[in-house]
Amino acid sequence: MAYDNLERSAADGRPVELYRFSRGPIAWNYTSSDRDILFDAVLYAAHPIQRGNIEQGPEAQRSGLRLTVARAFPVAALFMIAPPSDPIALALRQMHYLDYEAITLWQGVITGVSFSAGRADIELEPLSGTLRRSGLRRNYQKTCPYVLYGVDCAANAEAVRVDGVANVIDGLSLTVTAAGALPDGFFAGGYVEWQLGADPVFERRFVTAHVGAAITIDMPPVGLAVGAAVRLYPGCDHSLTTCNSKFGNALNYGGMPFIPTKNPFGSDPIY
């Protein structure tokens, strides 16, 4: 029977909800039903999930969704030490038990998770929320405003990548022998990444300091073990000199390095 007929029925409807969390190619599938659901050749594992009301309004930030789950819920556990470096999306669908059709109720991304005794609250915002935000404006400035390795920057990250091994992990400090072959500060402002086990997903951390073989990162290295392979990407101070000498990318430099330093509206009558 079609979804609409069951939804309108006074007695035949048996609604269940399907939650599909995804991070790139990895997906976690759950249902709030009291039993596992096989739908579209995908098994949705039964798990107690309590959600708030789905509301629509003119302000995207007020149209979010909250899920309450057990503290050990696998998706919530990803945020227990540090948030993942990639966004985790949710596609919430509803169907009727043993039916063949489902509709999408809501889509969004996780913005944060809070933990308390025995439970976790997952906060999400709708996909439309990111579309309504104001973008950064490009200023008239000497330094480059582009995100390093971003679309506008166009620096080739793979061309300057340095592969190494995490020989020592101590809090926010990593010792990578390969980093010692480069000048101090070479990787500061860049990032380090590593693969999460056999999953085709990489976790990334911003490099705040680099001295010798020591790399300091901004958050705990979740999923990184001693002896694991890491990839180091150099940082940039957004100056034309660094852009040219370090990346050979001066043609894509986004700043205005030749802005006059003398103020034409100053007290000096000669400009």
Residue 100, pLDDT score = 78
What average pLDDT score do residues 144-164 get? Answer: 95
Domains in the chain, ordered, with CATH? Answer: 3-131 (2.30.110), 157-235 (2.40.10.170)
Residue 55, pLDDT score = 74
Would you say residue 262 has pLDDT above 90? no
How distant, in Å, are the alpha carbons of 128, 129, 139, 150, 186 from that of 190?
30, 28, 23, 12, 8
Residue 53, pLDDT score = 87
More confident residue, 51 or 57: 51
pTM: 0.82
- Which residues have C-beta within 8 Å of that of residue 18, sequence separation ≥ 6? 29, 30, 31, 37, 39, 44, 92, 93, 94, 95, 102
d(C-alpha 241, C-alpha 250), whole Å: 8
Grouping H, G, I as helix, E, B as strand and the rest as coil, residue 239 is coil
Q: DSSP state, 230?
A: E
More confident residue, 80 or 56: 80
Would you say residue 134 has pLDDT above 70? no
Contact between 193 and 84 under an 8 Å Cβ cutoff? The reply is: no
Residue 139, pLDDT score = 86
Residues 192-226: pLDDT tens digits? 999 998 888 999 999 999 999 999 999 999 999 99
d(C-alpha 75, C-alpha 28), whole Å: 8
Would you say residue 10 has pLDDT above 70? no
d(C-alpha 131, C-alpha 145), whole Å: 21
> Among 180, 183, 192, which residue's Cα sits nearest to residue 216?
192
What's the longest Cα–Cα distance across the chain? 88
Cα pseudo-dihedral 28, 34, 35, 36, rounded to 10: -10
Share of the chain above pLDDT 90, in %: 69
Would you say residue 270 has pLDDT above 90? no
Residues 87-113: pLDDT tens digits? 999 999 998 877 778 888 899 999 999
Would you say residue 158 has pLDDT above 90? yes
Residue 229, pLDDT score = 96
Cα pseudo-dihedral 151, 194, 86, 111, rounded to 10: -140
What average pLDDT score do residues 127-147 get? Answer: 79
Average pLDDT, the chain: 89
Neighbours of 194 (CB within 10 A): 20
What average pLDDT score do residues 49-69 get? Answer: 79
What average pLDDT score do residues 248-264 get? Answer: 89
Q: DSSP state, 252?
A: G
Residue 199, pLDDT score = 80
206-219 core/surface letters (b: 16 or more CB in 10 A; e: else): ebebbeebbbbbee
